[in-house]
Structure 1
Amino acid sequence: MTTFQSAHRTFKNYFVLPIAFLLFGISCSTDATTLLDEDDSISEDVEETNDDTPSDEEVDTSGAVVFDQDFTLDATRTVANYVLSQADYAQFLAGDGDITMVAEKAYEYLDDDFDYIIILSVEETQPSGLFYGRSHLIQNQVQGLGTGVYNNAASYGSAGKLKSIIYMPRTEYISNGPFLHEIAHSWGNKGIIPSTVGGHWGFASTAGQLGGFDQIEDLGNNTYRGSLNGQNGFGTFANGGNSVVYGALELYTMGLIGPDELGSIQVAVNPEWTQNAGEFTADAITTYTAQDLINEHGVRVPSVSDSQKDFKALTVVISTAEISQEQIDTISANLENFSRQGAPDGSWGSLKNFWLATQGKATFDFTVAQESIQ
């Protein structure tokens, strides 16, 4: 770990970049790119046979599954709809929805086969004052990330599989983001590098879903300018919704690359924004190598050769009345695009799905298998 410190120190007033600036020229065709509100947050609780038995292919899985009058699964087996009371639904829009209630409802009818439960409201516009997405971290079984190992899955009705519950108030955020961002919170930033932006990378050369720049220029007098993709400016907590792929540190924490593929990371010490695009002051810039991170936090266990690469999620759309077939079709199409092992279709423009964001190193599956239905 090395630290560079300029000879003079000049501090300027803190300046928060406006949300519009954080888009910094990203082109997504006509698709809207949604950034995280600064209130984005993480909640962490420390061959064919001749017998009469049908094969998986022969099981009739056509048609929607009606578990009860308020909980159904659509015919594609990708979209569950949970109809809530007005009061319970309103609590989600107030930022205090009962995610345990949703999880326990799902586990009444479905087995504990999902790494994630994704809860989506059906709001047509972003609710005023509400975060764009929130990750509730249920467990961590990975060592070397800067936090301990824990498992609170039982508190949500899971026998131990559930890793995270993600809530987003609009179904469009599957494609626009912050979906990729919220998934990244499963592994970062749990303290693997220092940051003044809790749970995010902050002022660092991380260039990923959780923020950071890819280039830094020393302007003298303890003043620096960060840029991303050739444009002055960067986000400290997000970098443009699903238009951005995962950075190297994110891929490392996810277990998708090894330390040999992780370059050095520059982190600003006591950074403060100035009023110029991408410009900030800092006491110093500290450089962390992969070995520095290992020395401080230990090796990542499981390693890249043993880490999980394929993830399953249950999508639960909450509403106060049964959602329409048109809504189901749109949501299902976006889930298919997000989980596709290849580029999404043209309706996504230049937005990235999970496969692209991970450079084809991991998959995400939303299909509820027949065997997962109790």
Structure 2
Amino acid sequence: MRTTNPIIRKTISLMTIGSILFLSSCSKDTEDEQEPIETPPTSNLVIENTNTFASIKVSATDFDYWNSHGVNTAETTEKIKTLCKTELYTVLKDDFDFVIFVMNNANYPANMPTGEYVHVKNDTKGIGLKLFDNTASYGSAGKLQGVYFLYKNNIDQGPIIHEMTHRWANWVVPQTYSGHWDNVNGILKSVSNNLADIELYLMGLIPASQIKDPESLAIYNDSRYVDKIRIPSGLDAQKSFNSLVVVLTPTELSETEINNYKTKIDHITRTGATPIGYQNLWEKTNGKAVLNIGNLNTHKK
């Protein structure tokens, strides 16, 4: 019969207890290490003192990039998504139908258009676009409809309305220059024009029965325009649109620049006649739509 020395048995028991305590301690340390450490989001977004628009100071390299690359390539679209997720929606609520990036340029950069539009979501039938929703990849929970770039501070000269109209038009009948018109005298032919009847219809501001001008009727009756019943209809469609203006600049904005942006935003958002030489959405749509920009403190998280 084998017996165990009491001293040895006691030593083994102490070692066992020590091992359990050690493993327990290691397990706790491991669990502690796995707990995520939350850090507050950081953003370079600055709400300017007028509370009307925001700005982001970017590097000279990034500023040059945005001034020389079209926004509808795969690379730039991904950069825009990152810009929205990391700079905008970390500070502001998901309250905006459109985000408008304005390059702080005195003149248009070489080989770039006045502006460019990026589709984010389409939940409207009858405008020539499939239904889709890419809002999550931009950091929006479903509100954001589109993002566009303007390459000069000409907010109240028409491009802002022209690019916004690309949300709905022209995707119904192919034209020489995609997304625009060959003959319809609307905002998608010239920024100096009011919205044509077909543009008002596609935007949901009038019913089909009110399309009167011959060029608009020609588009509406074109055999290539199929599935032309707009849903939601002109009775139910959205008429008031919230937009966020974000100025991209390589230098701090001066007080003169800030006030200049505010003045132009006041022009484009007003309801009623605008001073000669300036434009607003209310006038361009014959009082049927309103553009809201500003009061950013109410949109902060």
Maintained 8 Å contact 1:314/1:368: no
1:312 alignment partner, SS class: strand
CA contact (8 A) 1:245 1:352 kept: no
Matches within 5 A, 1:163-242: 163-171=145-153, 173-190=154-171, 192-202=172-182, 204=183, 206-211=184-189, 239=190, 241=191
The CA deviation string for residues 342-365 of structure 1, in whole angstroms up to 9 with x for no partner, is 1223xxx24321110010001001
- CA–CA distance in structure 2, aligned partners of residues 131 and 91 of structure 1: 15
Three-state SS of the structure 1 residue aligned to 2:81 is helix
Secondary structure of 1:183 counterpart: helix
Q: Which amino acid aligns with 2:227?
A: H
Query: Across the two proteins, how many residue pairs are aligned to each other?
Result: 253
Per-residue deviation at 1:75? 2.5
Q: Which has the larger radius of gyration?
A: 2
Give deviations 1:187-236, integer Å, cap 9, x for gaps. 0111x22322211122x3x210112xxxxxxxxxxxxxxxxxxxxxxxxx
Structure 1: gaps (5+ residues) = 1-66, 212-238, 268-286
Q: Give the structure-2-normalised TM-score.
A: 0.78
Equivalent position amino acid for 1:198 in 2: S
Higher strand share: 1
Uncovered stretches (5+) of structure 2, i.e. residues with no partner: 1-40, 71-75
Question: What RMSD, in angstroms, separates the aligned Cα atoms of the two structures?
Answer: 2.2
Matched-pair contact (CA < 8 Å) for 2:173–2:225? no
CA-CA distance at 1:90 after TM superposition: 1.1
Q: Deviations over 1:259-314 (max 9, x none)?
A: 010136559xxxxxxxxxxxxxxxxxxx7474667982141000011000000011
Select which of 128, 131, 142 maps to 1:146: 128
Does the 8 Å CA contact 2:47/2:296 hold for their aligned counterparts? no
Q: CA deviation at 1:128?
A: 1.1
Find the residue that maps to 1:355 and give its secondary structure.
Answer: helix
| Distance 1:293-1:176 versus aligned 2 partners, 3 A rule | same
Deviations 1:149-174 (A, max 9, x none): 11111111111111111101111x21
Q: Contact conserved, 2:155 with 2:265, CA < 8 A, in 1?
A: yes
Shift of 1:329: 0.6
* C-alpha contact 1:260 1:290 (8 A) present in aligned 2: no
Out of 256, 271, 285, the residue aligned to residue 326 of structure 1 is: 256
Establish whether residue 342 from structure 1 lines up as the match of residue 272 from structure 2: yes
* Whole-angstrom CA distance in 2 between matches of 1:318 and 1:87: 12
Structure 1 pair 289–135 and aligned structure 2 pair: CA distance change class (3 A) = closer
Contact 2:198/2:220 (<8 A) preserved: no
CA distance 1:170–1:150, shift in 2 (3 Å)? same
TM-score normalised by structure 1 residue count: 0.63
Contact 2:271 2:287 in 1 (8 A): yes
Q: Between the two structures, name the one with larger relative contact order (CA 8 Å, sep ≥ 6).
A: 1
Does residue 256 of structure 1 match 2:230? no
Moved over 4 A (4+): 264-267, 289-295
Map 1:100-179 onto structure 2 (within 5 A).
Answer: 100-104=81-85, 105-171=87-153, 173-179=154-160
Q: Distance in 2 between matches of 1:361 and 1:199?
A: 22
Deviation (angstroms), 1:76: 2.5
Letter in 2 for 1:170: K
| Alignment pair present for 1:355 and 2:252 | no
Q: CA deviation at 1:103?
A: 1.4
Identity, % of aligned pairs?
29
Please tell me whether residue 306 in structure 1 is matched to residue 288 in structure 2: no
Q: Distance in 1 between matches of 2:197 and 2:252?
A: 42
Give the 3-state SS of the residue equivalent to 1:72 in structure 2: strand
Task: Indicate the SS of the match to 2:89.
Answer: helix
SS at match of 2:226: helix
- Describe the shift of the 1:366–1:304 C-alpha distance in structure 2 as closer, same or farther (beyond 3 A): same
CA separation in 2, counterparts of 1:266 and 1:291? Answer: 10
